C-alpha cells in the first residue's frame, strides 16, 4: 500500500456507567483492543492499564494503529473487571464490548456508543467513548517532576500523590498522561516520564495544559489536592535556566479560607522536547539487526520421541518451537545483511561428559555458532535434538548475559550501528528469576531487546513480570530498568493466525 494511503492513528478510550462486578467495591476495569484478521478470527492489539474501583474510567494508555484508508479494518473494544494478576482474560469478569471499523472512529474523531454483552444485550447503561487523532509528530517531552508540602489528605497517614496531565481540545480536556503513585509522601519525586508532544498539546506549544494533583485512594474516590494551568512553551523556556514552580491550588479551599495560599508546590526540574526516532528511521540510517535464538531444552518439555512432547516433530515436520523460530525469524531476517544467526540451547545435558549447559551452540561449534538463514536454525535444531538429553533447570540469565556482552562490545565501537534481538522460546517457569531480572535490567542500557515466546499450556505469570508493561521491571534490590526491553507472547494465543503479523508488529 502506498505511503499516501496509510496514517498513524492514536486512540484514547474512556467509559461511563460500567457494570459493577465486585461485591465490596467497584469494578477494576481494563480495555482490550482487538483487530479482525479474517472471518471470525480476532487478534489482540493491546491493553490499557487497569483503573482501580472505577465505573467511569479515563484510560491514560493509548492505542496506536496504522489506518489504511482503502481497507475495512474491523476493531473491537472489550472491557474487563480485573480480579487477579492473570493475563488470561477468561479469568476476569466481562463488562461489555463494542465492535466497529477504524474508519468509523477516524471519520467521527470522537465516537460514543453503548456497550453490549456477548449475547448482544445491553451491558446496563455502560458506554464507551473513543477519541481518534492522526499522529504526524514524532517528538516527545521528557519530564522530571517533584513537589513539596502537598496537603495531607489521609487521616492516619500522609497523602499518596499522583499527577494527571490534560490537553485542551475542541471537545474539552483530554487525559494525556497519569504518573505513578508515590506512597505516603508530601514531598514526592515522581520517576522521569515522557509524553508524546501531540498527545500533550497537539504539537502546539502555546496550547493550555492542565495539571491536576490527587491523593490516591484504593476505593477509587481519589482526593483532589489542587491544579494549575500552563503551556509547554512556558515549561521548556523556564526549565532551560532553572526549575519552574507552580502553586497547586484547590479553588474550593481558596474560596472558604481567606488565608489560603496553595495546597503545595509542583516543581518541574526537567522539561525537554526531543525527537523520538522510529524503527524505520534506524533501519534507513543503516542500523543492522542481529537475531539470536535461545531454545529451552529442559526435561519439562517431554521426551521428543513421543507426540505429547513439545519438542516432538510431527509427520508434517513442525512443532511450536519450529513455528516460533520460523515466524519471528522471517520478520527479522531482512534487516540482518549477513544472514547468519547464532542459535543456542539451554537446560540440556550435552556430550562428551553429559554436563548441563545453559548456553551451548545448537550446531555444537563454540567457535562459530552461526546458522545460515532461518533454514539453518531449523536444521541445527533438528540435528541437535537426538544428540542431547533434556534436563534442567530453566535458567535464562546465562544466555541473556551472553548476548549482553555482544551488545556491549558493539556499543563501544562508535562506527558500528548494531542492535541485538534475542528470541527465547520456553515451556514454563524460570528457575533463576532473580538473576534473570538483574540480567535484563543490566541489558536495558544496551542496544538489545528480548522476545520471549511461551509454548505449551504452562502458567506464564512470571513472563508477564519480565515483560514490564504494567509495572517497570526491577532487580531484587529495587534498581529499575532504564527501559522496557522484553516482549512476552504466549504462542497459544497466535498459533491459529498469522503469528508474526499479530505479535511482533507490536514489538517493533
β-bridge mates for residue 224, sequence order: 214
Rounded (5°) CA angle 299-85-89: 90
The answer to whether the predicted template modeling score (pTM) of the entire model surpasses 0.75 is no
C-alpha dihedral, 377 to 382 to 383 to 389, nearest 10°: 110
Contact of 68 with 50, CB cutoff 8 Å: no
Contact of 162 with 52, CB cutoff 8 Å: no
All structural domains of the chain: 3-134 (2.60.40.150), 139-275 (2.60.40.150), 280-507 (3.40.50.410)
- Distances 176 to 165, 196, 237, 260 between C-alpha atoms, Å: 5, 9, 21, 29
* pLDDT single digits (tens) 318-327: 899 999 898 8
* pLDDT single digits (tens) 208-243: 999 999 999 988 889 999 999 999 999 988 777 778
Segments of the chain with pLDDT less than 50: 1-4, 497-508
Non-local CB neighbours of 113 within 8 Å, separated by 6+ positions = 98, 100, 127, 128
C-alpha cell at 32: 482490550
- pLDDT score of 414: 63
Cα separation, 203 vs 196, in Å, equals 9
- pLDDT score of 436: 96
C-alpha cell at 82: 480485573
Burial 116-130 (b: 16+ CB within 10 A, else e): eeeeeeebbebbbbb
Non-local CB neighbours of 279 within 8 Å, separated by 6+ positions = 508
Give the start-end residues of each E strand in 222-302: 223-231, 244-247, 265-275, 288-296
Of 73, 215, 62, the closest CA to residue 130 belongs to 62
- pLDDT score of 450: 95
Non-local CB neighbours of 48 within 8 Å, separated by 6+ positions = 13, 30, 31, 32, 59, 60, 61, 63
H helix intervals, 385-432: 397-411
3-state secondary structure of 47: strand
- pLDDT score of 502: 37
Rounded (5°) CA angle 91-93-94: 115
DSSP string covering 325-393, please? HHHHHHHHGGG-TT-EEEEEEESEEETTTTEEESSEETTS-TT--EEEHHHHHHHHHHHHGGGSEEB--
C-alpha cell at 497: 493466525
- pLDDT score of 501: 41
Amino acid at each position: 500500500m502506498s505511503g499516501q494511503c496509510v496514517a498513524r492513528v492514536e486512540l484514547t478510550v474512556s467509559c461511563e456507567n460500567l457494570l459493577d462486578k465486585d461485591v465490596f467495591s467497584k469494578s477494576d476495569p481494563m480495555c482490550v483492543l482487538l483487530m479482525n484478521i479474517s472471518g471470525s478470527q480476532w487478534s489482540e492489539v493491546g491493553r490499557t492499564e487497569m483503573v482501580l474501583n472505577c465505573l467511569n474510567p479515563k484510560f491514560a494508555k493509548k492505542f496506536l494503529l496504522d489506518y489504511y484508508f482503502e481497507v475495512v479494518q474491523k476493531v473491537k473494544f472489550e472491557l474487563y473487571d480485573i480480579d487477579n494478576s492473570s493475563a488470561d482474560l477468561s479469568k476476569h469478569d466481562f463488562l461489555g464490548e463494542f465492535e466497529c471499523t477504524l474508519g468509523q472512529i477516524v471519520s467521527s474523531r470522537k465516537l460514543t456508543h453503548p456497550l453490549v454483552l456477548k449475547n448482544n444485550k445491553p451491558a446496563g447503561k455502560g458506554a464507551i467513548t473513543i477519541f481518534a487523532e492522526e499522529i504526524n509528530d514524532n517528538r516527545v517531552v521528557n519530564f522530571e517532576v517533584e513537589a513539596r508540602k502537598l496537603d495531607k489528605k489521609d487521616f492516619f497517614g500522609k497523602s499518596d500523590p499522583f499527577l494527571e496531565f490534560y490537553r485542551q481540545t475542541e471537545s474539552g480536556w483530554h487525559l494525556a498522561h497519569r504518573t505513578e503513585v508515590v506512597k505516603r509522601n508530601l514531598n514526592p519525586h515522581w520517576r522521569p516520564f515522557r509524553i508524546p508532544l501531540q498527545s500533550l498539546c497537539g504539537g502546539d506549544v502555546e496550547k493550555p495544559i492542565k495539571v491536576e494533583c490527587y491523593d490516591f485512594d484504593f476505593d477509587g474516590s481519589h482526593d483532589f489536592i489542587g491544579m494549575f494551568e500552563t503551556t509547554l512553551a512556558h515549561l521548556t523556556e523556564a526549565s532551560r535556566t532553572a526549575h519552574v514552580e507552580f502553586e497547586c491550588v484547590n479553588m474550593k479551599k481558596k474560596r472558604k479560607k481567606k488565608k489560603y495560599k496553595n495546597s503545595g508546590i509542583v516543581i518541574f526540574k526537567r522539561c525537554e522536547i526531543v525527537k523520538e526516532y522510529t524503527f524505520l528511521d534506524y533501519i534507513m540510517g543503516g542500523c543492522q539487526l542481529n537475531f539470536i535464538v535461545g531454545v529451552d531444552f529442559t526435561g519439562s518439555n517431554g521426551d521428543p520421541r513421543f507426540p505429547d512432547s513439545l519438542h516432538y516433530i510431527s509427520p508434517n515436520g513442525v512443532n511450536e518451537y519450529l513455528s516460533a523460530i520460523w515466524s519471528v525469524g522471517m520478520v527479522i531476517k531482512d534487516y540482518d545483511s549477513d544472514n547468519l544467526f547464532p542459535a543456542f540451547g539451554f537446560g540440556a545435558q550435552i556430550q562428551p561428559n553429559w554436563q548441563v549447559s545453559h548456553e551451548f551452540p545448537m550446531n555444537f561449534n563454540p567457535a562459530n555458532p552461526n546458522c545460515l538463514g532461518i533454514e539453518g536454525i531449523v536444521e541445527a535444531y533438528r540435528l541437535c535434538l537426538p544428540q542431547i538429553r533434556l534436563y534442567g533447570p530453566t535458567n535464562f540469565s546465562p544466555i541473556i548475559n551472553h548476548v549482553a556482552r555482544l551488545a556491549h562490545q558493539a556499543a563501544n565501537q562508535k562506527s558500528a550501528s548494531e542492535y541485538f534481538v534475542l528470541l527465547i522460546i520456553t515451556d514454563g517457569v524460570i528457575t533463576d528469576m532473580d538473576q534473570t531480572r538483574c540480567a535484563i535490567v543490566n541489558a536495558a542500557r544496551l542496544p538489545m531487546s528480548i522476545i520471549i515466546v511461551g509454548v505449551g499450556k504452562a502458567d506464564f505469570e512470571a513472563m508477564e513480570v519480565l515483560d514490564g508493561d504494567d509495572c517497570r521491571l526491577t532487580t531484587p534490590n529495587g534498581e529499575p530498568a532504564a527501559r522496557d526491553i522484553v516482549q512476552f507472547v504466549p504462542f497459544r494465543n497466535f498459533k491459529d493466525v498469522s503469528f508474526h503479523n499479530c505479535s511482533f508488529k507490536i514489538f517493533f
